Amino acid sequence: MEQRIISNTIDNFVKAIEESKIKAQLLIVTTNKEKKLIDSDDTTYEVVKKKLATSSKYKNVKLLNYPAYSGMMAHQLNFALQAIIKNNKNVDKKSYFAVYNADSNITKQTLINMCKLCQTKSFPLIMQEYAAFFKNLKSLSPLMKGFAIFQTNFEFTNGFTNGFTNGFTNGILFSKFLRNHVVGHGLFIRLDYLQKIRGFTTDYWCEDIYLSFFLRSHDVKIYPIFAVEYGESPKNLKILMKQNATWFKTLFENGKIYSDLVKKHIDRTSAFSYLINQYRGAFAWLFLPTLYLAIIFYLFLLGNWQLGIIFLFSYIATTTIRYWLSNRIVELLSHNTMQSKLYLAFLASFAYLISNIGPLYSLLNPKRKKYKTER
């Protein structure tokens, strides 16, 4: 899939950089691992190499290929980091390392808002653009549309709103006891700080889950960028299940992450509160959907129709309002009117009831394999 979309992604980034008038270089990082995954010579590396040779407008786009035939995204990111450091000996606090995926898109407004945040917050260590998974929404089934809304809600309730800091809401929402996170796309990390922490971890499946824990344990604030990236959502349950299983497995590695971090100089109160929040989130993800379903079925099987209807209505009403609000936040950030916000929020209420299929698959699947997410 990357081979089909990477050309448009490059053009999108080049245009955004040019229109925002920021000084930036775009690095495309491929890997030899791809050669084992596709039966074709048209790897992403070859596709990008041919494209960059077609025009001088790509003069600030560089192509790097991670030479190993194994490894994870973190290995590629660290490979790119070393290449940047090698060519830039003197790194100041105004330089950032931004991470996006092959299917990411960025706008001029994202970069402008990022620059404004740098000015108002004196170049913070971490900035994050959160994503709404609406890019392929029209092509999805009603159930998968519900999951797209469900995942978007998680991004914004656990990332964007929990990340507000002084200067935006006077610190009302920001707290070391709130769960917030970075993700592996839309991440801006100051280059000197990334050097200081020696890049991204390769010890865990999801480098962004570890980084979120690391940042909280050092009381580093994650500043949300007032913009939204439109990403794609999995097209069927099988893909979503495997993607969620990968995330869930790393969530349950938080005990090991905590043990690794306490050996270093960290804020233990912040780290422990984050550990509890992570476990709370993992157990809620695993058990709450089944609990809600069990209550609904139990009430109706007992013949208590009145109480069953009241519980079902209360569940649908509260969850639909929650998902509608996150849709509204996306609408405000993107400056785009979103069609059928209420209907999509309603679909997410039903998707939530089976949203633990990924965690269940993670526990029942003995292979424990990390899957590269298809779209």
Tally of structural domains, the chain: 1
Indicate the pairing of strand 187-190 with strand 126-132. Answer: antiparallel
How much is the pLDDT for 205?
74
Which pLDDT score, from 0 to 100, does residue 176 have?
A: 63
Answer whether 182's CB lies under 8 Å from 222's CB: yes
20, part of any domain: no
Q: Given this model, what pLDDT does residue 175 score?
A: 63
For 264-286, the pLDDT digits (tens) are 878 888 889 889 988 998 999 99
Residue 346 lies in a domain: yes
Identify whether 216 is part of a domain.
yes
What is the model's pLDDT at position 16? 95
Q: What is the per-residue DSSP string for 10-67? A: HHHHHHHHHHHT----EEEEEETTHHHH-SSS--HHHHHHHHHTT-GGGTTEEEEEE-
Q: Please indicate, yes or no, if residue 32 is contained in any of the structural domains.
A: no
Contact 73, 184 (CB under 8 A): yes
Confidence (pLDDT) at 197: 94
Using the CB atoms, write b or e for 279-302: b if 16+ within 10 Å.
eebbeebbeebeebeeebeebeee
Domain around 353: 71-364
Asked whether residue 1 is domain-assigned, the answer is no
- Decide if 61 is inside a domain: no
pTM: 0.88
Q: What is the CATH number of the domain that holds 357?
A: 3.90.550
2 assigned to some structural domain? no
**Arithmetic mean of pLDDT over the chain:** 88
Residues of the chain with pLDDT under 50: 166-172, 375
126 strand-pairing partners = 189, 222
Helix, strand or coil, per DSSP, at residue 69: coil
Do the beta carbons of residue 143 and residue 171 sit within 8 Å?
Answer: no
Token representation of residue 166: 């002084």
In a domain, 17, yes or no: no
Helix (H) or strand (E) holding 361: helix 357-364
User: What integer pLDDT is reported at residue 168 of this predicted model?
Assistant: 44
Please write the tens of the pLDDT for every residue from 107-134.
999 999 999 999 999 999 999 999 999 9
Element spanning 130, H or E: strand 126-132
Let me know: does 132 contact 152? Beta carbons within 8 Å. yes
